[in-house]
Each structure stands twice: as structure tokens, then as C-alpha cells.
Amino acid sequence: MKRFYTLILALFSATILLAQSDKQVKWSFQAKKIAENTYEVHMTANINGNWHIYAQNGGEGPVSTSFNFVKNPLLTVDGKVKEVGKMKKVFEEAFGSEVRYYEKSVEFVQVVKVKGKAKTNLAGKVEFMVCNEKECLPPSTVDFKIAIGG
């Protein structure tokens, strides 16, 4: 019975920590037309207080920010997601390596092309991890769906 209560407590604690990751980073998503049938999708992370979010190539140890787009026959993803922001590169003792991260905010930009004059959505997930000088929260995932075209 003690094992059962310990397991329940551990699951409850993990749920609370996961919820905290979402509170430390607020995501916003929008598409901007840049040419005929071509759009830039802006995925912006606004980071609270003294927390930071890792770059897509964050380094050895932390969970790097990553994007997973749902396949859509009406869209073509053009190139890789670009990062726009002030990246910091520091050696972190906790990971024993140099890491790359952003504080306050970072914008991730993906170019997509729409086939014809279709009105569709770019859907997917972003996975990220936040840390400060004292602790790291478990990785979190946010789903998104952005209207494009039309």
C-alpha cells in the first residue's frame, strides 16, 4: 500500500511540474505572407522571469527546442526553422558542456509554401525545456494550429 501512495505522489508531483513549464513560457503563433503562395510562420516564445529556453541545438544535456509539423498535402515546408533572438552560449556545470539558450523571448520562423490558392492550416507540436540558475523543469509540449493561405 505504501508503494501505491508513493507512486500516486510521484505522478501528482510530475503533473504539477509539467504544468509549471507551460506557465514559464507563453507561445504565440502567426503567419505572414511574404510572396505569392509563400508564408513565414512565426512561433514566438515569451519567457518569464529568470528562466531560459534552449535553442534547437541547445547542446549536450538539456532538451533542445524542437518542432514537429503534421504532414499536409496542401503545404510544403521550405528549409529549416530559423531562430531570431539574442542567443547566449555558456558553460553549464550541471550538464558539463556549453549550452545555447534564449532569455525573455525568441522567435522561431519557418517558411511554408501553399499549393495553389488553398486555405489550410499548419499544425504541429513544439517541445521545449526551461531552466534557471537553480533548476530545470521537465520538458513540455505545446500543440499549435496556424491558418495559412486563402
For every one of its 150 residues, what pLDDT tens digit does the chain have, with 9 covering 90 and above? Answer: 444 333 333 333 444 444 466 689 999 999 999 999 999 999 999 999 999 999 999 999 899 999 999 999 999 999 999 999 999 999 988 889 999 999 999 999 999 999 988 899 999 999 999 999 899 999 999 999 999 987
One CATH from 3.40.50.720, 3.40.1160.10, 2.60.40.1250, 3.10.450.50 for 2-149: 2.60.40.1250
How far apart, in whole angstroms, are the C-alpha atoms of residue 92 and residue 124? 30
Report the DSSP pairing between strands 105-114 and 38-47: antiparallel
| pTM, 2 dp | 0.84
Say which residues have a Cβ less than 8 Å from residue 128's Cβ, sequence separation at least 6. Answer: 21, 25, 45, 53, 54, 63, 65, 66, 139, 140, 142
Distance of CA 9 to the CA centre of its chain: 28
What length does the chain have?
A: 150
